[in-house]
Amino acid sequence: KAGVTQTPRYLIKTRGQQVTLSCSPISGHRSVSWYQQTPGQGLQFLFEYFSETQRNKGNFPGRFSGRQFSNSRSEMNVSTLELGDSALYLCASSFPGGDTEAFFGQGTRLTVV
């Protein structure tokens, strides 16, 4: 079956702009989580959505937001981009529950200039 698909794979934006990243989960998975990966901070949890509701949120400013649609596809948005937002953004889908395997997409590489 198809894996987790993230689009676009690469993105270059200017400081102050906003950006929207997309994630299509594995069919049947209703939980979608987002992570930010940087060399300095490592992998950090952004938020998780399940059945169109945000269930968990990490320690990120309000400029980072997300949503989930009825077909479980998810988007995350970053407004007023800062240079420090440059990172690999990873999406993971899974069945609900902390004991289930998270399947990761290849990520979107965001560069803010």
Partner 1 sequence: AQSVTQLDSQVPVFEEAPVELRCNYSSSVSVYLFWYVQYPNQGLQLLLKYLSGSTLVKGINGFEAEFNKSQTSFHLRKPSVHISDTAEYFCAVSDDRGAAGNKLTFGGGTRVLVKP
| Pick 19 or 107: Cβ nearer partner 1 | 107
**Residue 64: beta bridge partners?**
78
**Quick one: 41 exposed, middle or buried, by C-beta within 10 A (0-12, 13-18, 19+)?**
exposed
Q: Is 68 in the site for partner 1 (CB under 8 A)?
A: no
Q: Quote the CA–CA distance of 1 and 11 in Å, as a whole number.
A: 27
Q: Is 12 in the site for partner 1 (CB under 8 A)?
A: no
Q: Is 101 in the site for partner 1 (CB under 8 A)?
A: yes
Residue 58 backbone class (left: φ over 0; alpha: ψ -120 to 50; beta: rest): beta
CB of 87 to partner 1, least distance (A): 14
Q: Kindly list the residues in this chain that would bind partner 1 in the complex (CB under 8 A).
A: 4, 31, 33, 35, 42-45, 48, 50, 55-56, 58, 90, 92, 94, 96-107
